[in-house]
Amino acid sequence: MNTIIVSDLDGTLLDNRTYSFEAARPALETLRRAGIPLVLCTSKTRAEVEFWRDRLGNADPFIVENGGAVYIPQGYFPFRVPRAVSRDAYEVIELGSPYEELLATLEAAAREAGCRVLGFHHMRVAEVCLRSRLPVLQAELAKHREYDEPFEILSDGAYRLLEAIERRGKRWTRGDRFYHILGNNSKAEAVSRLTALYRRTFEQVKVVALGDGWNDVDFLKAADLPVLVRSPYAVALKRAVPRAVVTRSPGPHGWNEAVLEAVAA
């Protein structure tokens, strides 16, 4: 049985306040020694994930912008990836709607709902830093969006706004800090597509998924072993994913604990 680790970043592998992954180093080194893939599955952009992959020494596929696309390094699998497009050093499975289409939908839904919103495309880098607590470089990378727009709701009418988004054939989800508008994509669908490629390679695959927020619920439900990294939402999330194991510690401390236990099992 080949194990695949699929993990969210913020509040999971990365500390929600400092963005450090230092406490997860023992588990990361165990994965490296064992040759176990670590697939990053996040609301972050390709540019942001590449930043973190470089620091983690990670060379596995990754999933961006809440399942908007799966990026697979060229030659990673011993076959051409079906329905993928070549882009730079990757084979890309695109699942999301074009970014400009999402912006137009958000603006139209906000007008219909009489609801004020503030999307990333409205914000300067300094404002992204302030609202997300990201360092300047990472805030710049967070604005390089392709398939998902984070936004804040600044007035009454949130329910009307979200309904208006759905009527226009788009979806929304909520992360730790922002709402997100997206197409008919999800982290679960992206993980399912990637898992099928691993199964074509290894036949028997066990997916261990780790997350800490509401936008992780769909792919946690689909995993063989779902892990909730402890957060303020852990009790409610456990009700949403009853099979999930909840870590004792939050952030990279909990991630380290869960990954070491899953690999040893």
Query: What is the SS3 string spanning 41-78?
Result: ECCCCHHHHHHHHHHHCCCCCEEECCCCEEEEECCCCC
Q: Which domain holds residue 239?
A: 2-66+186-264
Instruction: Indicate if 192 and 155 belong to the same structural domain.
Output: no
CA distances from 239 to 173, 198, 243, 253, 259 (A): 18, 30, 9, 23, 22
Report if residue 91 sits inside a domain.
Answer: no
Per-residue pLDDT tens digits for 137-159: 999 999 999 999 999 999 888 99
List of residues 6+ apart from 100 with CB closer than 8 A: none
Instruction: Indicate if 60 and 191 belong to the same structural domain.
Output: yes
Instruction: Indicate if 199 and 260 belong to the same structural domain.
Output: yes
Instruction: Count Cβ atoms within 10 A of the Cβ of residue 243 and give its class: 0-12 exposed, 13-18 middle, 19 or more buried.
Output: exposed
pTM score, whole prediction: 0.93
DSSP line for 65-116: TTTTEEEEETTSSSSPPTT-EEETTEEEEE-SPPHHHHHHHHHHHHHHHT--
Instruction: Indicate if 108 and 171 belong to the same structural domain.
Output: yes
Residue of 44, 60, 35 whose CA lies nearest to 12: 44
* 139: helix, strand or coil: helix
HEC profile for 213-256? CHHHHHHHHHCCEEEEEECCCHHHHHHHCCCCEEEEEEHHHHHH
Distance CA 73, CA 86 (A): 10
Report if residue 34 sits inside a domain.
Answer: yes
**Opening angle at CA 32, ends 135 and 175, nearest 5:** 40
Per-residue pLDDT of the chain (265 residues; tens, 9 = 90+): 699 999 999 999 999 888 999 999 999 999 999 999 999 999 999 999 999 999 999 999 999 999 999 999 999 999 999 999 999 999 999 999 999 999 999 999 999 999 999 999 999 999 998 888 888 999 999 999 999 999 999 988 899 999 999 999 999 988 777 899 999 999 999 999 999 999 999 978 999 999 998 889 999 999 999 999 999 989 999 999 999 999 999 999 999 999 999 998 7
- Tokens read off for 163: 């309904």
Distance CA 100, CA 109 (A): 14
Report if residue 59 sits inside a domain.
Answer: yes
pLDDT at residue number 157: 87
Domain-ending residue, one of 143, 158, 182: 182
**Structural domains counted in the chain:** 2
Domain-ending residue, one of 117, 151, 182: 182
**Opening angle at CA 179, ends 45 and 222, nearest 5:** 70
Report if residue 224 sits inside a domain.
Answer: yes
> Which residues are marked as active site?
8
Instruction: Indicate if 178 and 217 belong to the same structural domain.
Output: no
Report if residue 80 sits inside a domain.
Answer: no
Per-residue pLDDT tens digits for 19-39: 999 999 999 999 999 999 999
| CATH number of the domain within which 175 lies | 3.30.980.20
| CATH number of the domain within which 41 lies | 3.40.50.1000
Question: Do 217 and 237 touch, CB atoms closer than 8 A?
Answer: yes
Domain-ending residue, one of 152, 182, 212: 182
pLDDT at residue number 48: 96
Instruction: Indicate if 42 and 12 belong to the same structural domain.
Output: yes
